[in-house]
Amino acid sequence: MGPVLEIGDRFIRHVYILTICLTVVISAVLLGFKRAALPSFLIGSAISLSLFWSIEFVVRRLVRPGKTKRTKSLLGFIAIGKYTVLAGLLYLLFKMEWMNIYAFAGGIALVQGAIIIKAIGLMVTILSNKDPNQS
């Protein structure tokens, strides 16, 4: 039997760690070169991390086999509430004159980039640790 792809708690924890490390490194670079973009980037990365955390929280607490209709309604209510608050926050942020949209988008994309980096690393690890019995 060949290597198996397993994604668990460790993968998610590593995504958090990688995202925070990337945020610190990119913030240091922005601080040196483009100081005005730093607040937008930090706000974007904070929003991105909070959305990732909220998805993890909801999935861990509510998504289980055999749940009732009440659970499905609660999931819908949480999603509607979360995205309504996010829409209001984004509206207020885009009305501000100091907002750098490119840095903000980079902060929002940071968690997705960390997930892609971790997934590629996981695939490379699996491909490099082939079973010696395979030919």
Q: Delimit the domains of the chain by residue range.
A: 9-128
Q: To 10 degrees, what angle do helices 101-108 and 38-62 make? A: 30
- CA 70 to CA 11: how far, in whole Å? 30
The neighbour count for residue 48, using CB atoms within 10 Å, is 22
- CA 104 to CA 37: how far, in whole Å? 8
pLDDT in tens, the chain (135 residues): 445 555 667 888 888 999 999 999 999 999 988 888 899 899 999 999 988 888 888 777 777 777 677 777 777 787 788 888 888 888 888 888 888 888 888 999 999 999 898 888 888 888 887 654 454
pLDDT of residue 46: 92
pLDDT of residue 24: 94
pLDDT of residue 1: 44
pLDDT of residue 26: 92
